[in-house]
Each structure stands twice: as structure tokens, then as C-alpha cells.
Amino acid sequence: MADTNRTIQELLSDYAGALRDGCVPVFLKSLTRQEGQMISSSSEFWEATEVVRILNGVGFAKKAVTADVGLFMSRVDANIASRLKKAKTGSRRKRTNGAKSAHKTQRAEEMI
């Protein structure tokens, strides 16, 4: 990608390699101002990039790993349940603590 003033075909080839390797940002940073302007005005490049994306998707479809959402959802459910449980026990503690302190005060008064 160090070559400057590449043709549309060379840019497309470099783009396809970058897409395959997962380094599209590096490809974009390697563009000169002239190459960037050439790409932005070229409908041929944009049409070819769509084809490259489709071919790349088809070529790596079997190797692609989709995230298992089940684990994420179970963790979210556990966090929600934990927060609900803490909210319920928190309000009980406040009531219980107040009742105990009042009970202790009554015992102390009785002792005196």
C-alpha cells in the first residue's frame, strides 16, 4: 500500500486485500488526497467494492462466528434479579434497623 498514485484497479485490489485482512482503516489512511478524490468520484470503484464485499462475505461465511446471545441474556437477567433482590432487602434493612433501635431504647428505659 506504499505505492502512490495508484489506478482504480490497484486501489480496488488493495481494498479487497484490506477487507480480507480486516485492516480497512489502514487502507484508508494510506490514500493520498488525489487517490481519495479519484475514489470518491468513481462509480466504477464503488460498484466494484460492493461486489468485493459480497464475495468476501460468501467466501468467509462458513468461518464467521456469530455471537451467542443466550449467555449475554442470562447475565443481564441475573443482574436484574440481583438488583431487585438488593432493592427489596435494602428497604427491609431500613425498617428492621429502625425497629431494633426503638426496641433497644425501650429496654434501656425499662432497665433504668
The series of mean pLDDT values per 10 residues for the chain, 112 residues long, is: 76 88 87 89 89 82 64 83 82 55 60 60
Kindly write down the DSSP assignment for every residue of 30-46, as one continuous string. Answer: H--HHHHHHHHH-HHHH
The verdict on residue 1 lying in a domain is no
Look up the pTM and report it: 0.48
Which of 59, 85, 100 corresponds to the end of one domain?
A: 59
- Max Cα–Cα distance, the chain, nearest Å: 99
Count how many domains the chain has.
2
pLDDT of residue 88: 79
- Taking alpha carbons only, the member of 19, 110, 5 closest to residue 60 is 19
Neighbour count for residue 48 (Cβ, 10 Å): 18
72: containing domain: 66-112
